[in-house]
Amino acid sequence: MTRLVAVDALWFALIACAVGGIVAPIAIARGKRQWLPFAQAAVYANFALVTIATGAMMWALATHDFSISYVAQVGSRATPLFYTVISLWGALEGSILFWAWVLALYSAIVVYTNRNRPGNLVPYAASALLIIALFFHILLVGPANPFHLVSPVPLDGPGPNPLLQNHILMAVHPPLLYLGYVGMSVPFAFAVGALLSGEAGSDGWIRLTRRWTLLAWAFLAAAIIAGMWWSYEVLGWGGYWAWDPVENASFIPFLTATAFLHSVMVQERRGMLKLWNINLVVGTFALTILGTFLTRSGIISSVHAFTQGTIGYYFLAFIAVVLIGSAILIAGNSDSLRTDGRFDAPVARESVFLLNNLLLTVFMFTVLVGTLFPLVAEAARGVKVSVGEPFFNRMTLPVIVALLFLMGVGPALPWKRGSIEDLKVKMIPGTIVGVILAAIVLLLGTRNVYGVLAFAFAGFAGTLNIGEYVIGVRARRAAHGESVLTALRRLFGANQRRYGGYVAHLGIIVVAVGIAASSTFRTEREATLKPGETMTLGKVTARLKDVWGRNEPQRDVIGATVELLAASGEPYAVLSPRMNIYPMSDQPIPTPDVRSTPFGDTYMNLMSFREDGSSATIKIINEPLVPWIWFGGGVICLGALISGWPTRRSA
Amino acid sequence: MNWRRASIAVLGAVPVIALFAWGLTRDPNEIVSPLPGRQAPTFALGVFASGEGTLARPVGDTIALDRMRGQVVVLNFWASWCLACLDEHAELSAAALRYAERPVQFVGVLYNDVAAAGTNWIARQGGQAYPSVLDPGARTAIDYGLYGVPETFVIDGAGRVVYKHIGPVSAALLRMKIDSLLAASAVAPAAPALDGPR
* CATH number of the domain that residue A548 is part of: 2.60.98
Chain A contact present for B26, CB below 8 A: yes
Mean pLDDT over all residues of chain A? 88
In this predicted structure, which of A132-146, A148-162, A208-222, B129-143 has the lowest mean pLDDT?
A: A148-162
Q: Are the C-beta atoms of A277 and A260 separated by less than 8 Å?
A: yes
Residue A650: pLDDT above 50? Answer: no
Q: Residue A293: closest CA among chain B residues belongs to which residue?
A: B20
In a domain, A361, yes or no: no
**Domain identity same for A480 and A537:** no
Q: Which of residues 141-160 of B touch A (CB under 8 A)?
A: 147
**Domain identity same for A517 and A538:** no
Contacts of B10 in chain A (CB under 8 A): 324, 327-328, 331
Contacts of A614 in chain B (CB under 8 A): none
**Domain identity same for A147 and A183:** no
Q: Are the C-beta atoms of A628 and A511 separated by less than 8 Å?
A: yes
pLDDT at residue number B192: 42
In a domain, A7, yes or no: yes
Q: Residue B22: closest CA among chain A residues belongs to which residue?
A: A379
Q: Do B1 and A320 touch (CB under 8 A)?
A: no
For chain A, the C-alpha Rg in angstroms (whole number) is 27
Q: Do B20 and A319 touch (CB under 8 A)?
A: yes
* For residue B131, cis peptide bond before it (omega within 30 degrees of 0): no
pLDDT at residue number B197: 38
Confidence of residue A346 (pLDDT cuts 50, 70, 90): confident
Q: What is the CATH number of the domain that holds B87?
A: 3.40.30.10
* DSSP letters for B43-95: -EEEEEE--SGGG---TT-EEEGGGGTTSEEEEEEE-TT-HHHHHHHHHHHHH
| DSSP-derived 3-state class of residue B127 | coil
Contacts of A307 in chain B (CB under 8 A): none
**Domain identity same for A87 and A151:** yes
In a domain, B62, yes or no: yes
**Domain identity same for A142 and A3:** yes
In a domain, B156, yes or no: yes
Q: How far is B20 from chain A (nearest CA, A)?
A: 7
pLDDT at residue number A593: 93
Q: Do B13 and A301 touch (CB under 8 A)?
A: no
Q: Which residues of A touch B (CB under 8 A)?
A: 293, 297-301, 312-313, 316, 319-320, 323-324, 327-335, 372, 374-376, 378-379, 382-384, 586-587, 608
Partner residue facing A375 (CB), from B19, B27, B83 = B19
Chain A contact present for B25, CB below 8 A: no
In a domain, A354, yes or no: no
In a domain, B4, yes or no: no
CA separation for the pair B89, A495 (Å, rounded) = 64
Residue A423: pLDDT above 80? Answer: yes
CA separation for the pair A382, A64 (Å, rounded) = 47
* DSSP letters for A491-555: HHHHTHHHHHHHHHHHHHHHHHHHHHHHHHS-EEEEEEE-TT-EEEETTEEEEEEEEEEEEETTE
Q: Considering only CA atoms, which of A226, A83, A97 is closest in space to residue A161?
A: A83
Q: Cα dist. A217→A205, A288, A449, A564 in Å?
A: 18, 12, 31, 40
pLDDT at residue number B193: 40
| Dihedral sign computed on CA atoms, order A318, A320, A323, A326 | negative
Left if phi > 0, otherwise alpha if psi is -120 to 50, otherwise beta: which for A154?
beta
In a domain, B80, yes or no: yes
Q: Considering only CA atoms, which of A373, A439, A361, A346 is closest in space to residue A402?
A: A361
Contacts of A312 in chain B (CB under 8 A): 24
Chain A contact present for B83, CB below 8 A: yes
In this predicted structure, which of A160-169, A565-574, A625-634 has the lowest mean pLDDT?
A: A160-169
Chain A contact present for B54, CB below 8 A: no
Considering A145, A160, A175, which residue would you say is the last residue of a domain?
A: A160
ipTM exceeding 0.85, yes/no: no
- How many Cβ atoms sit within 10 Å of the Cβ of residue A289? 22
In a domain, A388, yes or no: no
Q: Do B17 and A301 touch (CB under 8 A)?
A: no
Considering A136, A160, A184, which residue would you say is the last residue of a domain?
A: A160
CA separation for the pair A458, A363 (Å, rounded) = 18
Q: How far is B163 from chain A (nearest CA, A)?
A: 18
Residue A436: pLDDT above 90? Answer: yes
Q: What is the CATH number of the domain that holds A222?
A: 1.20.120
Residue B186: pLDDT above 80? Answer: no
Residue B195: pLDDT above 80? Answer: no
Higher-confidence residue: A285 or A346? A285
Give chain A's end-to-end CA distance (angstroms, integer): 45
Q: Residue A585: closest CA among chain B residues belongs to which residue?
A: B87
In a domain, A27, yes or no: yes
In a domain, B33, yes or no: no
CA separation for the pair A491, A509 (Å, rounded) = 22
Partner residue facing A323 (CB), from B1, B16, B83 = B16
Q: Do A332 and B12 touch (CB under 8 A)?
A: no
Confidence of residue B114 (pLDDT cuts 50, 70, 90): confident
Q: Do B26 and A378 touch (CB under 8 A)?
A: yes
Number of separate domains in chain A? 4
Q: Do B5 and A334 touch (CB under 8 A)?
A: yes
Q: Quote the Cα angle for A102-A364-A266, to 5°.
A: 85
Q: Do A328 and B28 touch (CB under 8 A)?
A: no
Q: Residue A320: closest CA among chain B residues belongs to which residue?
A: B17
Q: How far is A235 from chain B (nearest CA, A)?
A: 13
Which pairs count as long-range contacts for A207-212, CB under 8 Å and 24+ apart, including other chains? Answer: A207/A268, A208/A114, A208/A121, A209/A264, A209/A281, A210/A261, A210/A264, A210/A268, A211/A644, A211/A646, A212/A110, A212/A183, A212/A186, A212/A187
Q: How far is A406 from chain B (nearest CA, A)?
A: 32
Residue A631 amino acid letter: F
| DSSP-derived 3-state class of residue A471 | helix
Number of separate domains in chain B? 1
Q: How far is B83 from chain A (nearest CA, A)?
A: 8
pLDDT at residue number A648: 55
pLDDT at residue number B167: 80
CA separation for the pair B44, B115 (Å, rounded) = 17
Chain A contact present for B8, CB below 8 A: yes
Residue A440 amino acid letter: I
Label the pairing between strands B72-78 and B104-110: parallel
**Domain identity same for A12 and A142:** yes
Partner residue facing B19 (CB), from A379, A383, A586 = A379
| Cβ within 8 Å of residue B96, ≥6 positions away | B55, B74, B104, B106, B129, B130
pLDDT at residue number B3: 83
In a domain, B17, yes or no: no
Partner residue facing B6 (CB), from A301, A331, A587 = A331
Left if phi > 0, otherwise alpha if psi is -120 to 50, otherwise beta: which for A242?
alpha
Residue A302: pLDDT above 70? Answer: no
Partner residue facing B9 (CB), from A293, A327, A383 = A327
Residue B198: pLDDT above 50? Answer: no
CA separation for the pair A233, A230 (Å, rounded) = 5
Higher-confidence residue: B137 or A527? A527
CA separation for the pair A52, A46 (Å, rounded) = 10
Contacts of B5 in chain A (CB under 8 A): 331-332, 334
pLDDT in tens, A178-218: 999 999 999 999 999 999 998 888 888 888 899 999 999 99
pLDDT at residue number A285: 95
* Best to test chain B binding among A289, A328, A614 (most B CBs inside 10 Å): A328
Q: How far is A375 from chain B (nearest CA, A)?
A: 6
**Domain identity same for A143 and A239:** no
Confidence of residue A300 (pLDDT cuts 50, 70, 90): low
Q: Above pLDDT 70, what percent of chain A?
A: 95
In a domain, A451, yes or no: yes
pLDDT in tens, B132-172: 999 988 889 888 888 778 889 999 988 999 988 888 888 88
* Best to test chain A binding among B8, B11, B26, B166 (most A CBs inside 10 Å): B26
CA separation for the pair A508, A458 (Å, rounded) = 9
Confidence of residue A155 (pLDDT cuts 50, 70, 90): confident
Q: Residue A297: closest CA among chain B residues belongs to which residue?
A: B24
What range does the domain containing B58 cover? 44-192
Q: How far is B27 from chain A (nearest CA, A)?
A: 7
Residue A591: pLDDT above 50? Answer: yes
In a domain, A329, yes or no: yes
* Best to test chain B binding among A292, A368, A371, A378 (most B CBs inside 10 Å): A378
Mean pLDDT over all residues of chain B? 84
**Domain identity same for A36 and A139:** yes
For the sheet with B62-64, list strands across it: B62-64, B44-49, B132-134, B104-110, B72-78, B151-155, B161-166
Confidence of residue A387 (pLDDT cuts 50, 70, 90): low
Considering A160, A179, A202, which residue would you say is the last residue of a domain?
A: A160
| DSSP-derived 3-state class of residue A296 | helix
CA separation for the pair A246, A292 (Å, rounded) = 9
Q: Considering only CA atoms, which of B196, B190, B165, B195 is closest in space to residue B72?
A: B190
Among the residues of A271-310, which ranges form H helices?
274-297
Q: Do A299 and B10 touch (CB under 8 A)?
A: no
Residue A563, phi then psi, degrees to nearest 5:
-100, 140
Partner residue facing B2 (CB), from A293, A320, A334 = A334
Q: Are the C-beta atoms of A272 and A341 separated by less than 8 Å?
A: yes
Residue A307: pLDDT above 90? Answer: no
Confidence of residue A33 (pLDDT cuts 50, 70, 90): confident
pLDDT (average), residues A564-582: 90
- How many Cβ atoms sit within 10 Å of the Cβ of residue A156? 12
| Cβ within 8 Å of residue A84, ≥6 positions away | A61, A62, A64, A75, A76, A160
- How many Cβ atoms sit within 10 Å of the Cβ of residue A63? 12
Chain A contact present for B87, CB below 8 A: yes
Residue A390 amino acid letter: P
What range does the domain containing A580 cover? 523-628
Q: Are the C-beta atoms of A461 and A410 separated by less than 8 Å?
A: no
**Domain identity same for A199 and A248:** yes
Chain A contact present for B21, CB below 8 A: yes
Q: Are the C-beta atoms of A330 and A283 separated by less than 8 Å?
A: no
Chain A contact present for B187, CB below 8 A: no
pLDDT in tens, B12-42: 888 888 888 887 777 665 666 777 888 899 9
A242-251, A457-466, A489-498 — which one is most confidently predicted on average?
Answer: A457-466
In a domain, A650, yes or no: no
pLDDT (average), residues A568-577: 91
| Dihedral sign computed on CA atoms, order A458, A461, A462, A463 | positive
> What is the Cβ-side half-sphere exposure of residue B39, based on CA atoms within 13 angstroms?
12
Chain A contact present for B116, CB below 8 A: no
pLDDT (average), residues A150-168: 80
In a domain, B165, yes or no: yes
Dihedral angle at the C-alpha atoms of B71, B76, B77, B79, nearest 10 degrees? -130
Q: How far is A316 from chain B (nearest CA, A)?
A: 7
Q: Do B83 and A587 touch (CB under 8 A)?
A: yes
Q: Cα dist. A130→A18, A47, A187, A240, B33 in Å?
A: 7, 10, 14, 36, 47
Q: Considering only CA atoms, which of A573, A543, A572 is closest in space to residue A560?
A: A543
Chain A with chain B: Cβ pairs closer than 8 A: 80
**Domain identity same for A184 and A286:** yes
